[in-house]
A = this chain, B = another copy of it.
Amino acid sequence: MIKAHVHVTLKAGILDPQGRAIRRSLENQGFTLVNNVRVGKFLEIELQEQDPAQADAQLKAMCDTLLANPIIEEYHYELERPPEPISGQGS
């Protein structure tokens, strides 16, 4: 099994009303040094897949078709390497 961490964030220049609301709330609570807040999604995805190249291709397709809106969002992901299988090697 391969685990992936996906970040989906608004592209630079796209307005972020949720981030603005959080900044305002923080300010109201006394956190006056907060300059800017941007909010995105963070997804942990477990794939029943052993091959990192396959997993990579699947994740790219998932992000392009469902997880991110390519018009306003961008994404990046990292794959957690599966633990190395125990293997003997003769010489």
Residue numbers of A with Cβ under 8 A of B are 1, 7-9, 19, 22, 25-26, 29, 31, 33-49, 58, 61-62, 65-67
A-B contact pairs, 22 of them (CB 8 A): A9-B42, A9-B44, A22-B43, A22-B67, A25-B66, A29-B65, A29-B66, A31-B58, A31-B61, A33-B49, A34-B62, A35-B46, A35-B48, A36-B44, A37-B43, A37-B45, A37-B46, A38-B44, A39-B42, A40-B41, A40-B44, A41-B42
Number of copies: 2
Given contacts A1-B35, A34-B45, A34-B46, 20 further A-B contacts (CB under 8 A): A7-B42, A8-B42, A9-B42, A9-B44, A22-B66, A26-B62, A26-B66, A29-B65, A31-B58, A31-B61, A33-B58, A34-B48, A35-B47, A36-B44, A37-B43, A37-B46, A38-B43, A39-B43, A40-B41, A40-B44
